[in-house]
Amino acid sequence: MTGQTRIGVGSAFGSCGELLQGVTAEDDRHFLVTLPIRGGSVALFEPGGPDVRVYPPHKTKALRLATGMIERSAALRGGRLTVFSDLPEGKGLASSTADLVATARAIADAEHRTASTAEIEAGLRVIEPSDGVMYPGSVAYCHREVRLLARLGQLPALTVVVGDEGGAVDTVEFNRRPRPFSAAVKGEYSALLARLGTAIARRDAAGIGAVATRSAVLSAALRDRPHLDATIAAACEAGALGVVVAHSGTTTGLLLDDSDADYRRKVVAAQRICAEFADSVSVHHTWRPSPPDGAQPQAAGGSGHDHAIPPLGERAREHVRGLAGGRAEALPGRGGIARSVGPAAHQEPAEVWVR
């Protein structure tokens, strides 16, 4: 087994809520549009032993996915899977999907191969509704089907100042609830999706913000957000692009254009607005210029780490150091590990406020 496997590394970025979430008018397909952010989940799989163990122990979905992949493997029998993330759980930042995508990539990497998006989706489909973070850029994704609806392209450089109202939302349970959408509302969702696709293609930040805000308003019919109207009004007054929500989460964010000449003042203003309703406030950034595509085929002679590990917070970086410490010889050519523990020169420090 030693010559056939290696320590596997996988990663996936998160999504800061959804720019849009609804149902298509044409065929009643439930969809969401991702808002990829820097930061996400990293998985490390160390082959060895007769069974599969996961750390932290509550990452049971990742354990289930890893076990299924290993049962189908000709080389792997068992091992230790460690999953860690910058993304808080149950908040609507695609933490669960990021964990699972990173896990699938780590298991495949341990076999010296790259997991395709089709393989990843097949594994996730039997576990839970999923975000489309296995694809680069912003995508329209049928989360209940775990299938791609459309690639929309790379987002402009945006900042999302996010307020977390507290608590957590069970995504699986949330998606089991009936959705009484009228034909008129479905028609509006389809029109919004077309409008958003055009805005992303044109890198129209204001257009993206307008669609996100309308989707946030429509989402109030499914999940009560008492603070939403006041937040939208304050965002407009502060000059934000709009408001974005985690439709099945606990966060509401203000979208800002990084190229805005008054950017720094608006970031501070957005933090104050979020502090009015939130237990905590954080700042997230979209990828610049774009997130890596973990699903790209491995080039001949490549290392197998074509998915770049997203920049992580210090706690996650320390965790990787502990895992990889003293085993540098086991990680030849592992650019991904180096990127995950080294400084991310292009990443601005995120401002964080806690009440």
Burial of 28 (0-12, 13-18, 19+ CB in 10 A): exposed
CATH topology of domain 8-286: Ribosomal Protein S5; domain 2 (3.30.230)
Tokens for 250? Answer: 């606990």
Closest Cα to residue 323, out of 8, 107, 1, 97?
8
Q: Which residues pair with residue 256 across a beta bridge?
A: 159
169 falls in which pLDDT band (50, 70, 90)?
Answer: low
CA distance 53 to 65: 12
Q: How far from each other are the two terminal CA atoms of the chain, in whole angstroms?
A: 51
181 falls in which pLDDT band (50, 70, 90)?
Answer: confident
Max CA pair span of the chain = 62
Whether the per-residue pLDDT at 306 is higher than 50: the answer is no
pTM assigned to the model: 0.82
Residue 266 corresponds to which amino acid?
K
Q: Which residue has the higher pLDDT, 300 or 208?
A: 208
Please give the average per-residue pLDDT across 229-249, as a whole number.
95
Most confident of 5-9, 316-320, 337-341: 5-9
The pLDDT value given to residue 349: 30
Please give the average per-residue pLDDT across 187-200, as a whole number.
97
pLDDT in tens, 60-117: 999 999 999 999 999 999 999 999 999 999 898 999 999 999 999 999 999 999 999 9
Quick check: bond before 311 cis, omega within 30?
A: no
Closest Cα to residue 215, out of 89, 36, 87, 31?
31
Please give the average per-residue pLDDT across 287-310, as a whole number.
45
The pLDDT value given to residue 42: 97
Q: Which residues pair with residue 20 across a beta bridge?
A: 33
Taking the alpha carbons of 332, 296, 73, 143 in that order, is the dihedral positive or negative? Answer: positive
Instruction: Name the CA dihedral angle for 117, 119, 107, 310, rounded to a multiple of 10 degrees.
Output: 20
The pLDDT value given to residue 90: 86
Please give the average per-residue pLDDT across 129-136, as a whole number.
94
DSSP string, 168-199: ---HHHHHHS-----HHHHHHHHHHHHHHHHH
The pLDDT value given to residue 299: 32
Contact assessment for residue 183 and residue 215, using Cβ atoms and an 8 Å cutoff: no
CA distance 273 to 78: 49
Contact assessment for residue 302 and residue 335, using Cβ atoms and an 8 Å cutoff: no
Tokens for 114? Answer: 């790259």
Most confident of 11-15, 170-174, 247-251: 11-15
CA distance 329 to 268: 46
Q: Which residue has the higher pLDDT, 50 or 304?
A: 50
Whether the per-residue pLDDT at 159 is higher than 90: the answer is yes
The pLDDT value given to residue 154: 94
CA distance 49 to 65: 18
Mean pLDDT taken over the chain: 82
